[in-house]
Amino acid sequence: MARPQSRKVLAKRPRRTASVVVEEMRMLSFMTRDKIHEPFISARLFPAEEIYPVHIAAYFADVDFLIASGADPMQQTSMRRSPLEIAKEFNTRGSHDRFIAMLNQMQSTRTQQEEILMQEGL
């Protein structure tokens, strides 16, 4: 009896039309410009919403960018969505699990630091 071949699972993204690929390339080029605090508008993938490089990293599940950039893991889009929400939206069968775990760890560390500062009255 033949064993069924496993299929590679891709992240849940819009259908890969030429315009989607072009928009993804625009987003990637914006991420590499060291503009972590500047908004980006992606009419094709995030209509009517300003996003930041950390949200682009969430879309692509780019853990290395998240760590290296020093981006704010709690930064919200203009529609008040966090990178964690975007990563969960595009997580398909574990495609973004590592990124989500890293975000959770970063948010936990930040919350602990804020609590310490509040206790010290700073």
Q: Give the per-residue pLDDT at 122.
A: 64
Q: Residue 38 sits in a domain of what CATH number?
A: 1.25.40
pLDDT grade for 117, boundaries at 50, 70 and 90: confident
What pTM did the predictor assign? 0.75
Cα separation, 108 vs 38, whole angstroms:
24
Cα separation, 11 vs 39, whole angstroms:
24
Per residue in 36-90, pLDDT (tens digit) is 788 999 888 888 899 999 999 999 999 888 888 888 888 999 999 999 999 999 9
Number of domains observed in the structure of the chain: 1
| 81 assigned to some structural domain | yes
Q: Give the per-residue pLDDT at 13.
A: 58
| 26 assigned to some structural domain | yes
| 44 assigned to some structural domain | yes
In one-letter notation, the amino acid at residue 3 is R
